[in-house]
Structure 1
Amino acid sequence: MLPDEPRSSADPSPEGGPPGCFRHPGTATGISCTRCERPICPECMVPAAVGFQCPECVSRGHAGSRRATTRFGGGLAGDGGLVTRVLVGVNVVVWLLAAYVLTPQLGQTWSLFSAGRDVLGGPAGIADGPDQWYRLLTATFLHVEWWHIGLNMVVLLWLGPPLEEALGRLRFLALYLVAALGGSTFAFLVAGNLMNSVGASGAIFGLIGATIVLQLHNRGPLAPVMAFLVFNLVVTFSRPGVDWRAHLGGLVLGTLTAAGLMYAPREHRGPVQALVVAGALAVEAALLLIGMSLYGA
């Protein structure tokens, strides 16, 4: 090296000691990155399968790798049931508030209540306009009787984790909410002139339909889930006071949405799945608007 040539920070020191780290020239080190062979100090060492790598090489390696996904395009998560447990927790908290703290205010303001313009004092509730449309969602988290929330949450804990693991957290949450809103909007369309109901049953029926789609896609056994669906439909149409409209709406919208999510072509999966969810929401918006034309002011 000529006397006037600048010295590289990676070169040995004049005393013949080890080179300095390429990021921290003042720190001498005897370790080099196994990929780019630049000297790296303990602060910059990233353990690799063989030796150590520098942070830049590690970042480039991650940028070139594909993100691991579920079979339907969702992000992999260490715990496949997180969203399911959060939904159960929200339902239980709302039930406790409605049953023991904010009684009866929460039940009155969050229920799927609607009175059309032909009813004395109407329109009221959902039929009264956009300021009340929040009920379409809040009613799906509201329960009154302990056995009602108990049955719904047991089924959610049974069906939710396998679907969440297959779809990924975001897609599973979208499916749940679409099914819940499908039950509410269909119930409003059919009975919005005078109705009042609560519960997550529309979303639960949507998960039952999604489980059938998943079993068909995986060519798994259909008998158990089909028997469970038939049993619940018999109960729905045989017991008084059960809102069959919410059950049926959630089942149809949940099943169709699940089919779109699971059978979307692999090469265009993301955009197609987004269009499926958007299309389901558009159908529900149409049901709401038609209901408003029938019952609203």
Structure 2
Amino acid sequence: MAEPYGQPQPGAGLAHCYRHPDRETGIRCARCERPICPSCMISAPVGYQCPECVQGGSAAVRAARPRTIAGGSVAADPRLVTKILLGINLAVFFAVLAGGDRMVTDLGMLGYAIDGETFTWIGVADGEWYRMLTSAFLHEQIWHLGFNMLGLWFLGPPLEAALGRARYLALYLISALAGSTLSYLLAEQNQLSLGASGAVFGLFGATAVLVRRLRYDFRPIAILLAVNLVITFTWSNIAWQAHIGGLVAGAAVAFGLVNAPRERRTLVQTGTCVVVLLVIVVACVVRTAQLLG
């Protein structure tokens, strides 16, 4: 009866380790059957394996790792990025409560206006481009923060799980920038706006695209989106431009993410994000030229 792999073979003429030719051994790799010495053998479910077979098995496991519909890695916690975004919004809200209105004036979305205290020009047109992103994390009222964070918590985790963390974060930030961009284009130049609504509406648009892609029932998200659009255009003091800009950009980015062909997936997905960002940049440059002209 043959001896099982991993057990010393008695008798003369022992083989030599394939990695250490000067060492005799009666142990062979359970996968490739090459002789291995005690320094090279790695315990396996059955017998021992050589370092190369162990590395090859790990690579095969990595290659077989499941992917999301957009090609992202399946994460153990599909809410991590959403939790971080929630945390940032909450932290900034408490900072606003502690710092007062000046923080809102310095970081809110503003096209071009005169600062009432210093009598100097401020706003995106004056070079304060950071406002387009910082404004998306600013909230003054608790109800405003509550509505936006409820939307983020409701829409974010399913999208994060479906797209993967990096793609989901790109979708969120681009939607926020697009919302600020449409506000910059269409709102009054001295109108100050703030809030995560543009980014959240981007998640609405992305959810609609994903639901259609997966052929789920489209009616629930359509009804929810319709209700939010009615609120957008009927309630006062709502920057509807940010909502629409985020919605359109979120849908466009999501369409490129979930419909990219597998053979050129990364290229198409990156290209989609770059094209949307280029539209944002061109629109902002044109608007700045109008305000400063």
Change (3 A) 1:121 1:294: farther
* Whole-angstrom distance in 2 between the partners of 1:31 and 1:95: 65
**Contact kept? 1:27, 1:41, Cα under 8 Å:** no
Aligned to 2:141: 145
2:125 maps to a residue whose letter is A
Aligned to 1:94: 92
**Contact kept? 2:172, 2:202, Cα under 8 Å:** yes
* Whole-angstrom distance in 1 between the partners of 2:41 and 2:110: 62
TM-score (norm 1): 0.84
What do residues 163-215 of structure 1 show as CA deviations (whole Å, max 9, x unaligned)? 11111111111111111100001100112521101110000001011111111
Aligned to 1:75: 73
The correspondence for 2:213, drawn from 192, 217, 220, is 217
Aligned to 1:6: none
TM-score (norm 2): 0.85
The alpha-carbon deviation at position 121 of structure 1 amounts to: 5.1
The correspondence for 1:110, drawn from 104, 107, 130, is 107
**Contact kept? 1:46, 1:54, Cα under 8 Å:** no
What do residues 123-146 of structure 1 show as CA deviations (whole Å, max 9, x unaligned)? 4211112xx100100110111111
**Contact kept? 1:115, 1:122, Cα under 8 Å:** no
User: May I ask how many residue pairs the two structures share in their alignment?
Assistant: 279
* Whole-angstrom distance in 2 between the partners of 1:143 and 1:36: 62
The alpha-carbon deviation at position 223 of structure 1 amounts to: 1.2
Change (3 A) 1:39 1:218: same
**Contact kept? 2:110, 2:189, Cα under 8 Å:** no
Unaligned runs of 5+ in 1: 1-11
Do structure 1's residue 207 and structure 2's residue 203 form an aligned pair?
yes
What do residues 2-51 of structure 1 show as CA deviations (whole Å, max 9, x unaligned)? xxxxxxxxxx9xx98x9897668999986532123332538851534x33
Unaligned runs of 5+ in 2: 1-7
The alpha-carbon deviation at position 108 of structure 1 amounts to: 2.1
Deviates more, 1:200-209 or 1:144-153: 144-153
Task: Indicate the SS of the match to 2:191.
Answer: strand
**Contact kept? 1:139, 1:198, Cα under 8 Å:** yes
* Whole-angstrom distance in 1 between the partners of 2:48 and 2:199: 50
1:259 maps to a residue whose letter is F
Quick one: percent identity of the two aligned structures?
42
**Contact kept? 2:201, 2:244, Cα under 8 Å:** yes
* Whole-angstrom distance in 2 between the partners of 1:96 and 1:127: 28
